[in-house]
Amino acid sequence: MIFSTLDDLRAACRDLPAGDEAAAAAALARQAVLTKPPGSLGRLEDLAVWLARWQGRAIPRLDQVSIAVFAGNHGIAARGVSAFPIEVTAQMVANYAAGGAAINRLAETAGATLTVVPLDLDRPTADFTKAPAMDEGEFLAAVSAGYAAVAPDLDLFAVGEMGIGNTTAAAALCAALLGGGAARWVGRGSGVDDHGLSRKRDAVEAGLARHGAKVADPLAIAAALGGRELAAMMGATLAARRHRIPMLLDGYIASAAVLPLARMASDALAHCRAAHCSGEPGHKALLPALGLVPLLDIGMRLGEGTGAAVAMLLARAALSCHAGMATFSEAGVAEKTC
Ligand X SMILES: Cc1cc2ncn([C@H]3O[C@H](COP(=O)(O)O)[C@@H](O)[C@H]3O)c2cc1C
Query: Given the complex with ligand NIO, which of 144 and 167 has the nearer CB atom?
Result: 167
Query: Given the complex with ligand X, which of 298 and 333 has the nearer CB atom?
Result: 298
Residue 45 appears among annotated catalytic residues: no
Q: How far is the CB of 215 from ligand X (least distance, A)?
A: 22
| 288 phi, psi to nearest 5 deg | -60, -30
The answer to whether 229 contacts ligand NIO (rule: CB under 6 A) is: no
**Residue 173 Cα distances to 75, 159, 222, angstroms:** 15, 18, 7
Q: How far is the CB of 115 from ligand NIO (least distance, A)?
A: 18
CB atoms within 10 A of CB 87: 11
Among ligand X, ligand NIO, none, partner that 20 touches (CB below 5 to 8 angstroms by kind): none
Query: Given the complex with ligand X, which of 54 and 128 has the nearer CB atom?
Result: 128
Contact set for ligand X, span 296-325 (CB under 6 A): 302-304
**Residue 151 Cα distances to 5, 60, 143, 155, 237, angstroms:** 23, 18, 15, 10, 12
Q: Provide the CB-side half-sphere exposure for 108 (13 A, CA).
A: 7
The answer to whether 124 contacts ligand X (rule: CB under 6 A) is: no
Query: Given the complex with ligand NIO, which of 146 and 189 has the nearer CB atom?
Result: 189
Quote the CA–CA distance of 92 and 107 in Å, as a whole number.
16
**Near ligand NIO by CB under 6 A: residue from 16, 95, 190, 321:** 190
The answer to whether 237 contacts ligand NIO (rule: CB under 6 A) is: no
The identity of residue 167, as a single letter, is: T
Return the closest-CA partner of residue 289 out of 189, 180, 202: 180
Contact set for ligand NIO, span 82-141 (CB under 6 A): none
Q: In a 10 Å sphere around its CB, with 0-12 CB exposed, 13-18 middle and 19+ buried, how is residue 21 labelled?
A: exposed
**Near ligand X by CB under 6 A: residue from 12, 24, 52, 88:** 88
Where on the chain is the footprint of ligand X (CB under 6 A)?
Answer: 82-84, 88, 92, 161-168, 189-190, 302-304
- Give the residue numbers annotated as catalytic, written as ranges: 304
